[in-house]
Amino acid sequence: MRTDSFKGRDFITLLEWSKEEVETILDCARDLKRRYAMGELHDHLLRAKTLFMIFYNQSLRTRNSFEAGMTQLGGHAHYLDPEKIYTPAMEGKEVAYSTERVSDVARVLSRMGDGIAIRCYGDPVDWVYGAANTLIREFARWADIPVLNMEDDKYHPFQALADILTTWERFGTFKGIKFVMSWAYSPSIHKPRAVPQSAIIAATMMGCDTVLCHPPEFELDPEVIAACQANAQMNNASFTITHDFESAFKDAHVVYPKAWAPKCLFKPPVGEGDEQKAKAINESYKHWKMTRRLMETADHEAIYLHCLPADRGWEVDNDVIDHTDVLRGWRSAVYEQAENRLHVQKAVMTLTMGGRL
């Protein structure tokens, strides 16, 4: 397809992109990954371009994959710590000589660079569900350059692209692939919904037979669920929700168990803002852990995925996540998945920030 329409666009959620456009991004990512593997330079694609990265939350994979990606494309990424600049804030949340209104920050950075990437969820927005997504959209409203979502409290679209690229590399297709996104136990309750919501959006969009598994108290956004149902219908595939952890992984091709917060943790109107209740609910599901026994109920060629960092010993046993060195049979693909963050992000940056392939 023509890629002219990609240039200058924001990348906040896959729901704002068509299946055909996402397929183009994946094609571009595969091409860039091939070039990288062969040692072929492609530093002309974003030569002398600048990406501003604003991190309200800590990061390993996201920060380094964006910085490395911009370097490999010939550009530069500026890391901006909100505590060491005038913290970008929404109107009504400002503090004199400490913050700066988002509309001002967005317009200033638009005159100095070529893209703005933002990560924000949880504590910086006081666990008000959707507030971080609103902040990123406020940047997009005022910026004249693409705004890229490096994870908010609703969506993590780059992680989802890496998830489905890893799936395609393993199976060469999405049709007939059982993709299971499941909750798993972690002692920490402070984890957003962004990864599971984006994973099921991507899986249903590409036509996987998608299963969402979680305890009843950990339900996801109804708008996301409705979008996944529509995606599945469009692709003549299935989308099901179950609360049975033991049986969800039977014959699965993609096994993706990961913790996220119970609904009651979020502030009203979505939840109750009750941290103690959230902890009590969370502790009642300690047995939701990925083990070798459960992996062996999946398809013989299944892959285990996790966005990382994984809470080892709680979400997953070592002999699952470290089971990477087999040529056949089920295996962990978490490190390929992490690497693929680099390639899908390079693809989106190239397409939206003005490069040419």
Do 133 and 252 reside in the same domain of the chain?
no
Do 217 and 259 reside in the same domain of the chain?
yes
Dihedral sign from CA coordinates of 114, 119, 123, 125: positive
Asked if residues 198 and 227 have their Cβ atoms less than 8 Å apart, the reply is no
Do 129 and 206 reside in the same domain of the chain?
no
The DSSP string of 176-233 is: T-EEEEE----S-----SHHHHHHHHHHHHHT-EEEEE--GGG---HHHHHHHHHHHH
Do 178 and 113 reside in the same domain of the chain?
no
Residue 256's SS3 state is strand
- What is d(CA 41, CA 64) in angstroms, rounded to the nearest whole number? 19
The encoded tokens of residue 13 equal: 């959620």
At 321, which CATH number? 3.40.50.1370
Angle at 327 between CA 347 and CA 30, to 5 degrees: 10
- What is d(CA 220, CA 263) in angstroms, rounded to the nearest whole number? 8
Q: What is the pLDDT of residue 325?
A: 82
Residue 239, domain extent:
159-338
Q: What is the pLDDT of residue 357?
A: 43
Dihedral sign from CA coordinates of 282, 159, 290, 334: negative
Asked, for residue 357, whether it belongs to a domain, the answer is no
Task: Classify the phi-psi angles of 169: left when phi > 0, otherwise alpha if psi is within -120 to 50, otherwise beta.
Answer: alpha
Asked, for residue 148, whether it belongs to a domain, the answer is yes
Number of domains in the chain: 2
Do 230 and 106 reside in the same domain of the chain?
no
Do 14 and 132 reside in the same domain of the chain?
yes
- What is d(CA 245, CA 248) in angstroms, rounded to the nearest whole number? 5
- Give phi and psi for 137, each to the nearest 5: -70, -30
Do 273 and 347 reside in the same domain of the chain?
no
Asked, for residue 77, whether it belongs to a domain, the answer is yes
Residue 12's SS3 state is coil
Cis peptide bond N-terminal to 309, omega within 30: yes
Cβ-based neighbours of 310, under 8 Å, separated by 6 or more: 258, 316, 321, 334
Q: At residue 31, what is the residue type?
A: D
How far, rounded to the nearest angstrom, does the alpha carbon of residue 150 sit from its chain's CA centroid?
A: 8
Asked, for residue 180, whether it belongs to a domain, the answer is yes
pLDDT tens per residue across all 357 residues of the chain: 666 789 999 999 999 999 999 999 999 999 999 999 999 999 999 999 999 999 999 999 999 999 999 999 999 999 999 989 999 999 999 999 999 999 999 999 999 999 999 999 999 999 999 999 999 999 999 999 999 999 999 999 999 999 999 999 999 999 999 999 999 999 999 999 999 999 999 999 999 999 999 999 999 999 999 999 999 999 999 999 999 999 999 999 999 999 999 999 999 999 999 999 999 999 999 999 999 999 999 999 999 999 999 999 999 999 999 999 888 799 999 999 999 999 999 999 999 998 544
Asked, for residue 241, whether it belongs to a domain, the answer is yes
Q: What is the pLDDT of residue 2?
A: 66
Do 184 and 130 reside in the same domain of the chain?
no
Asked if residues 116 and 148 have their Cβ atoms less than 8 Å apart, the reply is yes
- Residue 91 host element (H or E): none
Do 58 and 143 reside in the same domain of the chain?
yes
Do 188 and 288 reside in the same domain of the chain?
yes
**Closest Cα partner for 80 from 150, 13, 16?**
150
Residue 286's SS3 state is coil
Asked, for residue 169, whether it belongs to a domain, the answer is yes
Asked, for residue 311, whether it belongs to a domain, the answer is yes
Angle at 246 between CA 242 and CA 251, to 5 degrees: 85
Do 91 and 214 reside in the same domain of the chain?
no
> What separation in angstroms does the CA of 223 have from each of 35, 86, 166, 211?
38, 34, 26, 17
Do 188 and 309 reside in the same domain of the chain?
yes
